[in-house]
Chain A
Amino acid sequence: MNILIGVIEQGLIYAIAALGIYITYKILDFPDLTADGSFVLGAAITSSLIINGVNPLICIFISGIFGFLAGITTGIIHVKFKVRDLLAGIITMMALYSINLRIVGKANVTLMNMNDIFNMLNVPVVMIMIVIVLIIKILLDLYFKTKSGYLLKAVGNNPNVVISLARNDGNIKILGLAIGNSLVAISGSLLCQQQGFFEITMGNGVMVMSLASVIIGLTIFKNIKYISDTTSVIIGNILYKGCVSLALLIGFEASDIKLITATLFLVVLITSRNKIFEIRERRKT
């Protein structure tokens, strides 16, 4: 039971990052590796602010803002300087590694006995996370129904349409990357509050893990009409976390997690291959 609750907690925290990756990868069609850096950025800012006595709730917002800026950076590198999407993300991720170390001052910091949103209220972590994830999900769903949201969907789908609407497709791409990375940073902020420590390596593989859960979620619920994409992504992430803990239960070591992640990701990619090809085809035309 404890393990199950742990899985759901972790799943919900990482689900926010997965929603960010859903925006960059699925909607914008942009494989954004910035995430590995902006996740830690959120955690770094949160831990240093909490140590300085800032309200943990405000920390989450500030993390989101800095994630937004990280996304803009990648966007500008890609759109204005015409650097390939993957490389643009890697460049920002690299830079963020050093920046994160600067922000915190060292590679790991413990936040034990500090205030965080989970011990401020006398409510189980799961409940708090459900509320936070629901708020973010609903806001995103609403956003995708606005004019700005439509334009964001259009730019990933077919930039030509956006250009023919006399809009700068590059700027909209930058906006999408910014929103995506601000979610990833918020996720990092929540994780460091929940586990009570900051580690410079805590973001390694966030992009791949989130992407795996995005694809799991969207593939499983592809044919079910009344489940929105955002819900699929959230459930996908919890399922993904479930698979990983199951592997640990069977007897794998914690050090095997990356191997399990890679294998799981590969399996997901292969089984949902048709879907991936569909995206590629569309990109060509």
Chain B
Amino acid sequence: MIRLENVSKTYNIGTNFEKNVLKEFNLSVKKNDFVSIVGPNGSGKTTLFNIICGSIDIDNGKIFLEDKEISKIKEFKRYKYIGRVHQNPSVGTCLNMTILENLALADNKMKHYNLTWGIDRKKIDEYKEKLKMLELGLEEHLNTKVQNLSGGQQQAISLIMATMNPIDILILDEHTAALDPKTAEIIMKLTDKIIKEQKITTLMITHNLKYAINYGNRLLVMKQGQIVLDRKGKEKNNTTYEELIDKFSCI
């Protein structure tokens, strides 16, 4: 589904702070895979995501999405195929627009943004259904501005907006890290539910090792721009928390 071939990225080339984040990096993810990525800060996880989404350019290598090379495609065009949820809940929504307006915006993703009404009244029930699934009571507050919601609620809306349209790949960049443990749990369960229902290929960075073990069918540990552990399927299911902690401390 998504394939990175010999991708390299160096920051601050030619200065004292030159940092080779990814070196000849290779990764291949199959369709419907749900990959969790863990690793210490500075291991290149977020760089990896930014490279896939096109927020930063690569120095060398190629990125393929379903055999189509996307390395040279502009960031905004790649989002035709990609949905992304960020660590900061406020990045995924328009804070001073209402829940309804945000959902209507996202709903129109692959269509034209022309001079017809922004909100299709017939679709409001559909939106309410989606919000009901969250069990956060948001379906009663369609006309509330998103800035008045809690971080967890905002993140739930971001998640819905990112997955509202058919996408090839979902990118979750520590999307539960800014939330309290209970809310994080709710969002994580919801994420898993959406991914399973819609069968989306997913890449997820997390610092929560339990999530990395309990969710998804593949687990990557990254360190200094390299994959140091790669477990799939059964092997992944047998991975224990202690083992992972061990892997973390020995590298």
Contact = CB atoms under 8 A, between A and B. Distances in A.
**A and B co-occur in one complex:** yes
B117 A146 contact: yes
B104 A150 contact: yes
Contact of B94 (A146, A158, A166): A158
Interface residues of A, number: 24
Interface string B62-92: 0000000000001111111001101010111
A58 interface: no
Interface stretch (B108-116, B134-142, B183-191, B235-243): B108-116
Contacts of B96: 153, 157, 282
Contacts of A36: none
A165 B105 contact: yes
B94 A157 contact: yes
Interface in A133-176: 143, 145-151, 153-154, 157-158, 160-169
A161 B94 contact: yes
A150 B103 CA distance: 11
A285 interface: yes
B113 A150 contact: yes
A167 B115 contact: no
A158 B93 contact: yes
A161 B105 contact: yes
Contacts of B113: 147-148, 150-151, 167
B83 A164 contact: yes
Contacts of B92: 160-161, 164
Contact of A163 (B76, B83, B102, B117): B76
A165 B106 contact: yes
Contact of B118 (A150, A166, A168): A150
Greatest chain A CB density within 10 A among B76, B77, B80, B161 is at B76
A141 to B, nearest CB: 12
29 contacts: A145-B118, A146-B116, A146-B118, A147-B117, A148-B115, A150-B97, A150-B104, A150-B105, A150-B113, A150-B118, A157-B95, A157-B97, A158-B94, A158-B95, A161-B92, A161-B93, A161-B105, A163-B76, A164-B79, A164-B84, A164-B161, A164-B162, A165-B108, A166-B78, A166-B79, A168-B74, A168-B76, A282-B95, A285-B91
Interface of B: 74-80, 83-84, 86, 88, 90-97, 101-102, 104-106, 108-110, 112-119, 161-162
Given A145-B118, A164-B79, 8 more contacts: A148-B115, A150-B101, A150-B105, A150-B113, A157-B95, A163-B79, A167-B113, A282-B90
